[in-house]
Amino acid sequence: MNRRPTIAEQLARQGISRRAFLKFCAATASLMALPPGMAPAIAEALGKIRRPSVIWLSFQECTGCTESLTRSHSPTVESLIFDMISLDYHHTLQAASGEAAEHAREEAMKEPGYLVLVDGSIPIKDGGIYSTIAGISNLQMLKDTVENAAAVVSIGTCAAFGGIPMANPNPTGAAGVQALMDQGLIARKPVINVPGCPPIPAVITGVLAHYLTFGAIPPLDALGRPLNFYGDSIHDRCYRRPFYDQGKFAKTFDDEGARKGWCLFELGCKGPTTHNACATTKWNDGTSFPIESGHGCIGCSEPNFWDAGSFYKALSAPADPLSFAAGAAVAGAAVGVGMSFMNRAKKSSAKAAHETATLKDLEK
Ligand code: FSX
């Protein structure tokens, strides 16, 4: 087997100068939400690690996650593929088809330390017959491919938590990757969840860059999401937050408050219970995000978001503007509401855990 070049060697072969390489490392640090001072450490790490083989499996999904990835701007998916990883199998992006494609997957599985990326949920009801690729059920393909993998990255809410295919009544017995490991249906490996329907492209590439650079799973929250991208709620970082704190809420999507950019909480925004980087990283090269476009957050990076109630119903009774009259009262009310949201989020996680426990029942 040929020795794979380190990432630094790969860049040098492409004529990238040392100076440009350090610039690349500074950009990578910012991509990972790390300070620019980390660039030398990143350069040292990238000088040692080799481009790993990556197998990307797509199961029950809408291809939105791949569509999102292809719109990544820094680094672009092309530079990620050519500089940092060897993307050896990806249904949408690979040139090979049929037996040649499956052969590429089998060959990649012989590479030590390969990484498995999954988008889409896995149907397990009735022996997994509801989705097959090359005559192999999604469950069997995932089981075989994960067996010797170094780690799994679940891209999108479907792979992370089941997502829309798992929505009530979940006719295919759809489940996310971690749930299958918890049920003992596939080998247990380190998992990074990168939810969102779809996830933010810069978050997908940022998480991959972190894993590749440091060769380790980044710090995760209780739902397996990297804290540097999912540590804050949308509400924590929303530019409309000052209006929430002042008790100024749009009542309809075209009233005076909406035109003035007031808080969308009463129109059903799920920002307070949703953890993601939309309010900071934004979308389309940092252009905007749903709340900035005038629509509330629908909570797509949380488990069961599709079944969690109407996207247009407020999370709770709107805050009483009178209680926002004094500054101290503002802070107290915000903390109080925040705590109630956190409690609700904990309950929703407990509900997800309960639903995971019933997955075994679905498998026949
Ligand atoms: Fe799911 Fe992704 Fe939503 Fe779609 O692959 S997270 S339905 S954007 O495409 O899996």
Q: Tell me, what CATH number does 31's domain have?
A: 3.40.50.700
> H/E element holding 337?
helix 327-357
Determine the residue type at 159.
A
Q: What burial letters (b/e) apply to 200-238, b meaning 16+ CB within 10 Å?
A: bbbbbbbbbbbbbbeeebbebeebbbbebbbebbbbeeb
Q: How far is CA 83 from CA 13, 45, 94, 290, 352, in A?
A: 10, 14, 17, 32, 38
Q: Among 57, 58, 65, which residue has the most ligand 1 atoms within 8 Å of its CB, making it the best to mutate?
A: 65
User: Which is higher by pLDDT, 86 or 355?
Assistant: 86
Nearest CA to ligand 1 atom 3: 197
Rounded CA-CA distance 157/153 in Å is 12
Q: Which domain holds residue 84?
A: 7-230
Residue 138 pLDDT > 60:
yes
Q: Which residue carries 């929430």 as its tokens?
A: 244
For the Cβ of 69 lying below 6 angstroms from any atom of ligand 1, the answer is no
346 phi/psi in degrees, rounded to 5: -65, -40
Beta carbons of 281 and 234 less than 8 angstroms apart? no
Q: Read off the tokens for 276.
A: 């993601």
> H/E element holding 299?
none
Which residues share a beta bridge with 53?
86
For the Cβ of 119 lying below 6 angstroms from any atom of ligand 1, the answer is yes
User: 31-35, 51-55, 62-66, 208-212 — which is least confidently predicted?
Assistant: 31-35
Q: Which of 55, 59, 51 is CA-nearest to residue 82?
A: 51
Q: How far is CA 288 from CA 250, 294, 311, in A?
A: 19, 10, 20
Predicted local distance difference test score (pLDDT) of residue 340 = 35
Beta carbons of 186 and 146 less than 8 angstroms apart? yes
Predicted local distance difference test score (pLDDT) of residue 355 = 34
- Is 279 inside any structural domain? no
Determine the residue type at 231.
G
CA of 13 to the centre of ligand 1 (A): 36
Local confidence band at 353 (pLDDT 50, 70, 90 cut-offs):
very low
Q: With 0-12 CB in 10 A as exposed, 13-18 as middle and 19+ as buried, what is 132? A: middle
For the Cβ of 61 lying below 6 angstroms from any atom of ligand 1, the answer is yes
User: Which is higher by pLDDT, 343 or 229?
Assistant: 229
- Is 49 inside any structural domain? yes
Beta carbons of 84 and 7 less than 8 angstroms apart? yes
pLDDT > 90 fraction of the chain, expressed in percent and rounded: 59
CA of 248 to the centre of ligand 1 (A): 34
CA of 237 to the centre of ligand 1 (A): 25
Q: Read off the tokens for 168.
A: 């009530």
Determine the residue type at 296.
G
> H/E element holding 115?
strand 115-119
Predicted local distance difference test score (pLDDT) of residue 219 = 94
**Considering its fold, how many domains does the chain have in total?**
1
- Is 319 inside any structural domain? no
Q: With 0-12 CB in 10 A as exposed, 13-18 as middle and 19+ as buried, what is 311? A: middle
Rounded CA-CA distance 213/207 in Å is 10
Please name the residues in contact with 216: beta carbons below 8 A apart, sequence gap of 6 or more.
Answer: none
- Is 53 inside any structural domain? yes
Rounded CA-CA distance 65/158 in Å is 10
Q: How far is CA 343 from CA 225, 256, 273, 346, in A?
A: 19, 33, 10, 5
- Residues 200-252: tens digit of each pLDDT: 988 988 888 888 888 889 999 999 999 999 999 999 999 999 999 999 999 99
Q: What is the pTM of this model?
A: 0.83
For the Cβ of 157 lying below 6 angstroms from any atom of ligand 1, the answer is yes
- Is 140 inside any structural domain? yes
Q: Report the relative pairing of strands 132-133 and 136-137 from DSSP bridges.
A: antiparallel
- Is 321 inside any structural domain? no
User: Which is higher by pLDDT, 71 or 328?
Assistant: 71
CA of 201 to the centre of ligand 1 (A): 13
Q: How far is CA 156 from CA 47, 49, 211, 232, 307, in A?
A: 30, 27, 17, 18, 17
